[in-house]
Amino acid sequence: MSEELLRELRRKWLPIYVLLLFSLVFVLLHLAINYVHTGNVAYANWAIPIVFFTLYTAYALSKLLRTKIPVYRYYRVIKCTKCDYEVTEEIKEGDYLFREHGKCPKCSGILLVSKIYRKKSFKGVL
């Protein structure tokens, strides 16, 4: 999911969820007040599904706000074949495992790309 798509989803659905949540809370309060004043069980019976629908709407709203986009950064580990010299840096185009990367600055041995990995960080858009 891209930042633009997430921004568009939030722009479109955030007002709908907020209005729906406020209206459900208002209806729920209205039913509770009517039940207290009249004692009619029908108000309580209607309040039960409204409570569940309100909780579900609040959950969906919180999930929409908590959505974050994973951003991956790729790294390579360059290691000497003779000594313990090791360098970690961002990957460059055309890198692959066990590719020669020049000479070691410590012992003049051969440097090889020994590992390629990625780190994940999250990016949220509000």
Q: How sure is the predictor about 123, in pLDDT bands with cuts at 50, 70 and 90?
A: low
125 falls within a domain: no
Q: How many domains does the chain have?
A: 2
pLDDT at res. 107: 86
In a domain, residue 126? The reply is: no
pLDDT band at 1 (very low <50, low <70, confident <90, very high): low
Three-state DSSP class for residue 81: coil
Q: Which residue type does 119 have? A: K
Q: What is the mean pLDDT of residues 104-109?
A: 87
Do 12 and 32 share a structural domain?
A: yes
pLDDT at position 82 is 87
Query: Is the domain of 109 the same as that of 58?
Result: no
Whether residues 57 and 95 fall in one domain: no
Domain that holds residue 61: 3-69
pTM equals: 0.57
Cα separation, 92 vs 1, whole angstroms: 24
For the chain, give the number of residues.
126
pLDDT at 126 over 80: no
Same domain assignment for residues 59 and 105: no
Alpha-carbon Rg for the chain in angstroms:
29
Judgement on whether residues 65 and 113 belong to the same structural domain of the protein: no
- Distance, CA of 122 to CA of 56 (rounded, Å): 25
- Which regions of 1-126 does DSSP assign to beta strands (E)? 69-80, 86-90, 100-103, 110-123
- Indicate whether 96 belongs to any domain: yes
Sign of CA dihedral 14, 21, 53, 68: positive
In a domain, 45, yes or no: yes
